[in-house]
Amino acid sequence: MARRRQLLASSASLIAVSLAGCSGTTADDQTEQSTGTGTYTVQVKPNDPYTFESVPETYAAIPSVWMDIGMALGMQPSATASLERAPLKYYDQLPDVSFDENEITKLADSSESGYDKENFYAADCDVHLIDPRMLKFFANWTDSDIEEIRTGTGPFLGSSIRFASSAATGSEPYYDLYGAFEKAAKIFQRQDRFDAWQSFHDDFMETIEDGLPPADERPTIAAIWRGVNPDSGQFRVAPLDPLQNNTLTYRRVGMKGAFEDNVPDGPIGYEELLRVDPDYIGAVGGLTSLTHEEFVDTVIEPFENNSNGQRLTAVQNRNIVRNGGQFMGPIVDLFATEAVAKMVYPDSLGEWPGHVGSLSEDEQLFDRQELAAIINGTF
């Protein structure tokens, strides 16, 4: 039977609130002050604040942004759902960074189904970097199911940042990528690594931005998600919203949404694509889920062989690119941004050879060894 954790005494929480109240911090920051007794409190919306008695050593994640965030802090998850589409190939490119699948407790056979509470008890993780709303959606869990696992094993402190905010509520996502990353650093008390990451990332983006053309010369893109099947004639366009993480890469390299603020809410056909005729077509997630050969065979050539696809400027110029998609935590983001920048601006940032890991050292836009040192805490 998995061990049962107890909530902290209410007096400790009162001390935390008292200290926060005199600090002059914001309401959200007030939940993240040390109690002065070795405990600390972190809130990751939409979850309630949670007070840790000790630093968590194990965590669970659905392979996505939060798993990559954990890896960026030098921590492999102890439990995940299926790793079939996980971004493991990026970790292979970093010296002294590894991912051992044999050390993973499986929560489900698929990221979107098959969840069993007994698997969570078996994993017995200190914290779950999983948005509980995902379990409600994919596993039909109730609030009582979530509470049972929270009190029986560890808290839920994940938050979905994949999609843009809802026009109806305007309340989500609560964090951008580095906002979520900073929350995880507080959970694991590895703020020094986060600070080093942020500095490394800023230097990297300076390199990218130095290679971009003036704003009025930057290309448009139709970013397509849920897979790209040219022969189906049906495409779902993802907005380049400032808080939408799965299209982050395209924004980072200055690309503009072909549909501007009128992104269709639902599938469209070739007629709508041809009306805006984007400079580029982007396969959201294609860099992670497909090899170069698979991308050519299933996306590029089918577009070129389709009578409607042949009319698109992006197809005629072979301007079909791919990014890291839903898995873009800090590590995947760096590799994906480097790749897309080279795909779109080869004259200023160098050619993209097609494969993750195929760039020679002098062609790389960030130092793999330096990044690995940050991840491992040896910087």
168-214 pLDDT, tens digit each: 344 678 999 999 999 999 999 999 999 999 999 999 999 999 999 99
Answer yes or no: is pLDDT of 1 > 60: no
For residue 252, give the nearest of 173, 178, 336, 183 by alpha carbon: 336
Q: Per-residue pLDDT for 31 more than 90? A: no
> In this structure, is residue 314 part of a structural domain?
yes
Q: State how far Cα 64 lies from the chain centre.
A: 6
Q: Of 189, 224, 246, which closes a domain?
A: 189
137: Cβ contacts below 8 Å, ≥ 6 apart: none
Question: Would residue 224 count as lying in a domain?
Answer: yes
Q: Phi first, then psi: give them for residue 128, nearest 5 degrees.
A: -110, 110
| Model pTM score | 0.89
Residue scoring higher pLDDT (78 or 166): 78
Residue 198 and residue 354: Cα distance in Å, rounded? Answer: 27
pLDDT value of position 110:
79
Q: Closest Cα to residue 30, out of 41, 20, 18, 16?
A: 20
Kindly state the percentage of the chain with pLDDT values over 70. 88
For residues 185 and 219, membership in a common domain is answered with no
pLDDT for position 22: 31
CB 158 within 8 A of CB 66: yes
Is-contact 284 248, C-beta < 8 A?
no
What's the rounded Cα separation, in Å, for the pair 284 and 164?
A: 14
Give domain status of residue 124, yes or no: yes
The answer on 274 and 240 residing in a single domain is yes
pLDDT digits (tens, 9 = 90+) for 117-133: 999 999 999 999 999 99
In-domain check, residue 297:
yes
Shared domain for 128 and 227, answered yes or no, is: no
Only one residue has tokens 């965590």, namely 59
How high is the pLDDT of residue 263?
A: 92
State the total domains in the chain.
2
Residue 86 structural domain: 10-189
Q: What percent of the chain has pLDDT over 90?
A: 78
Query: Pairing state of beta strands 220-225 and 236-237?
Result: antiparallel
Residues 219 and 150 in one domain: no
Are residues 185 and 230 located together in one domain of the fold? no
Residues 185 and 216 in one domain: no
Under the banding of pLDDT at 50, 70 and 90, the label for residue 114 is confident
CATH of the domain at 255: 3.40.50.1980
Kindly report the backbone phi and psi dihedral angles of residue 82, in degrees, each rounded to the nearest multiple of 5, phi listed first. -55, 140
Q: Which of 43, 116, 107 is nearest to 77 (CA)?
A: 107
Please indicate, yes or no, if residue 203 is contained in any of the structural domains.
no
pLDDT at residue 374 is higher than 70? yes
> Do 110 and 220 lie in a common domain?
no
- Tell me which range, 1-10, 18-27, 260-269, is most confidently predicted by mean pLDDT: 260-269
Distance CA 210, CA 51 (A): 43
Q: Is residue 4 part of a domain?
A: no
**Among 31, 109, 111, which Cα is nearest to 67's?**
111
Q: How confident is the model at residue 300 (pLDDT cuts 50, 70, 90)?
A: very high
Q: Is 241 exposed, middle or buried (0-12, 13-18, 19+ CB in 10 A)?
A: middle
pLDDT(340) > 50: yes
Q: Which pLDDT score is estimated for 34? A: 56
Work out whether strand 236-237 and strand 59-61 pair parallel, antiparallel, or are unpaired: unpaired
| The pLDDT value given to residue 33 | 58
Is there a domain that residue 160 lies in?
Answer: yes
Tokens of 319: 């301007």
State residue 244's pLDDT score: 86
Label residue 286 exposed, middle or buried (CB < 10 Å: 0-12, 13-18, 19+).
buried
